[in-house]
Amino acid sequence: MPDLITLGESMVMMVADQTDSLQFVTNYTRKIAGAESNVAIGLARLGHHVGWISALGEDPFGRYIRNTIRGEGVDTSQVVFAEDDPTGLLVKELNQAGDPRVYYYRKNSAASKMTAALLSDDYFESAKVLHITGIFPALSESCCTTVLQAIEMAKAHGMIVSFDPNFRPQLWSEAEARKTLLRIAERSDLILPGIAEARILIGTSDWNTVAEFFHSIGNQYVVMKNGPDGAYFSHRFPDGTIETGYQQGFPVKVVVDTVGAGDGFAVGVLSGLLEELPLQECVRRGTAIGSMAVRVRGDVEGYPDRRRLLGFLQENVQQA
């Protein structure tokens, strides 16, 4: 049984092989995309037992996604296939550097029609962490209900709930997102907003205000990402004492592809949390994997195995 469970939609991703506008591109490379499965893959590479819950179309793309994620060592026993609904599709431009433009074709996908009936309470029984993002509840009302039910199951079994708001303006407005994301935040133990997401959620990115707010609504761990510069972190202990600080980012000479960096950051933090490391060390892992992710093209291609991660951290200690 998994130590960490995550749930959400993964899509087949067609990445252009040319830097032209997609109007003129003729060749593509097939990959997969999905914030939650990115995290699952990253944690599995570090040797953690991870389970991914989702729905896919009973089509070649759905089987390709399931097989790819399962091949990374992630448990996919809770993935279902829908005969009448397709697997979602994402098409991604090829940039020389920086953020690529992406186009989503996910309306009425199999994952967008997931319901809480797909959740098995037994599957949550021995897990330690539930990781969710703000993408999945934005897909449909039933997906939002499924997320909330998963949180209730996790809480009933004493699990830590990790939440990355991951606001996507293509899916909903800021006003719509704020209400739902704060509802989830109130039920979370660890929250991982970026600076822009903090502004959307509470109207400010002032770190002291952000930490105080999320601690006040029940979050034990608050980590605010500051892009390539690093991340703020705050841990409220059971006795009420608070430890807060800032972790500098690792320098990157050439940024090739930023997609997947935030999920890589979550991988590092969650890995440390599963190993009961101090929050600062968890965040250090997160900044390390985030910096490794942006050096190569692809969402998960830069995520390391344990040996490579520990070597990277040791090398940077020696250089400090």
Active site residues: 263
According to DSSP, the residues that pair with 224 across neighbouring strands are 232
Q: How many residues does the chain have?
A: 320
- CA distances for 234 relative to 88, 244, 282, angstroms: 37, 4, 12
- Distance from C-alpha of 138 to C-alpha of 9, rounded to nearest angstrom: 11
- Residue pair 77/89 in contact (Cβ under 8 Å)? The answer is no
- Distance from C-alpha of 149 to C-alpha of 212, rounded to nearest angstrom: 27
Q: Positive or negative, the Cα torsion across 195, 233, 42, 36? A: negative
- CA distances for 256 relative to 94, 253, 290, angstroms: 10, 10, 12
Q: How many CA atoms lie within 13 A of 119 on its CB side?
A: 23
CA dihedral 34, 83, 171, 147 (to 10 degrees): -70
Q: Parallel, antiparallel, or unpaired for β 230-236 and 221-225? A: antiparallel
What DSSP element (H or E) covers 270?
A: helix 261-274
Q: Which of 7, 76, 5 is nearest to 35 (CA)?
A: 7
What DSSP element (H or E) covers 42?
A: helix 35-45
Side chain identity, residue 144: C
